[in-house]
Amino acid sequence: MHSPVRSENDVFWGTVMIGLAILAAIAVGVVASAAAGLATAVVLAALGLILLLRAARGSLPGDIELARPDDRAHRILVVANETIERRALLDEIVDRCEGRDRAEILLVCPALAQTRLQYLASDIDEARGEAGRRLERSLVALRRRGVDASGVVGDDDPVEAAVDALAFFGADEVIVSTHAPQRSRWLERGAVEQIRAEVGVPVTHVSADDTASRTAAA
């Protein structure tokens, strides 16, 4: 399992850079001119914002082997967060592996913070930690059922998480797991349809609440 750990440093230094931008603007404005102070502030603030934006995104793992088009493995990308441990999703994954000589599974668990403010503070690490713990429990459950899978904590946006993962894991199909429609924020924002439009491979949606249902797209 992969879990990004760089966000606390990025948030700290991003905040420092923005603070320095304010102080530098005042100092340069007094010594030189208001225009020079403004230019200095813009440069330092831009550097700070870059670090903050880096902290808001997941990172890609370096230990997952790139897909090789000449082998015969069937690769399945699974995108899920709060439902990643649900039996309906695990059953779907196991069913997809049955009868195949070789299957490779990558679980991507987006780190979901509750508010945008959490992306600009170290609270995002708590969200990543929770996602990582869910992911690890899901991987253990799959191994107990004979499925060896890998996992990564991904971008907070499920669409971006799926696209990022496909850059290094050449999946033959994608499974997206959500809560039931009446309580799923991903479905409310149309994330499943956006993933279908982006990835170019078959996408199956699994509603992994108490009563499971699924929809597939060719």
Q: Please compute Rg for the chain using Cα positions.
A: 21
148/195 Cα distance (integer angstroms):
25
Query: CB of 74 within 8 A of CB of 103?
Result: yes
Are 102 and 145 found together in one domain?
yes
Q: For residue 136, how many C-alpha atoms fall within 13 Å in the half-sphere facing its CB? A: 9
Are 48 and 125 found together in one domain?
no
173/216 Cα distance (integer angstroms):
10
110 band by pLDDT with thresholds 50, 70 and 90: very high
Are 80 and 39 found together in one domain?
no
pTM: 0.67
Percentage with pLDDT > 90 across the chain = 44
Range of the domain at 138: 74-217
Q: For residue 175, how many C-alpha atoms fall within 13 Å in the half-sphere facing its CB? A: 27
Residue type, 141: A
pLDDT in tens, 26-68: 665 666 666 666 666 666 666 656 655 554 444 445 444 444 5
Are 157 and 213 found together in one domain?
yes
Query: Structurally, how many domains does the chain consist of?
Result: 2
What pLDDT does 186 receive? 92
| CB atoms near residue 10 (< 10 Å) | 21
Are 81 and 134 found together in one domain?
yes
Are 83 and 12 found together in one domain?
no
**Read out DSSP for 1-49?**
-B----HHHHHHHHHHHHHHHHHHHHHHHHHT-HHHHHHHHHHHHHHHH
